[in-house]
Structure 1
């Protein structure tokens, strides 16, 4: 099973050094969306803000970025 790494790119970049074994890029993207939404919730709770351009980069075992999950793309803001 391939290993995917989820690097947080925000105010302070946080590399994922361990990664997670998942069946494919679709499962990796779902994992990244869940992580991004969790971080958005935590940031909202602790800092009272959301930065829509923050993202999670999904990288494969060879160091290639396969996809990026941008925070603003995984939430809906309603008025």
Structure 2
């Protein structure tokens, strides 16, 4: 299974994921990033709609950006 890294960028700050997660594909990584973004946005006030999760492959290539705002929109649709 591919290894995906979930780095968190908040403005100029970057917190890198040192371990990564094995997931079957990029769609699964995207779904996981949305879950993580929703959890972190609720727990860490500094993380807001400008914060993004950068999904990277094992070579460090950024494959997808997942804005926390996307997770917030999804959360409001699920609650509505």
Q: Which runs of 5+ in 2 are unaligned?
A: none
What TM-score do the two structures reach when normalised by structure 1?
Answer: 0.82
CA RMSD of the aligned region, Å? 1.7
Would you tell me which structure has more strand in proportion to its own residues? 2
Q: Which moved more, 1:65-74 or 1:4-13?
A: 4-13
Moved more, 63-72 or 7-16: 7-16
Larger proportion of helix:
2
Counterparts in 2 of 1:64-79, with a 5 A limit?
Answer: 64-76=61-73
**Structure 1 consecutive aligned stretches of length 4 or more whose deviation exceeds 2 Å:** none
Larger radius of gyration: 1
Of 10-19 and 57-66, deviating more is: 10-19
Unmatched segments (≥5 aa) in structure 1: none
Q: Alignment length, in residue pairs?
A: 73
1:17 aligned residue: 18
The two structures have a TM-score, normalised by structure 2, of 0.81
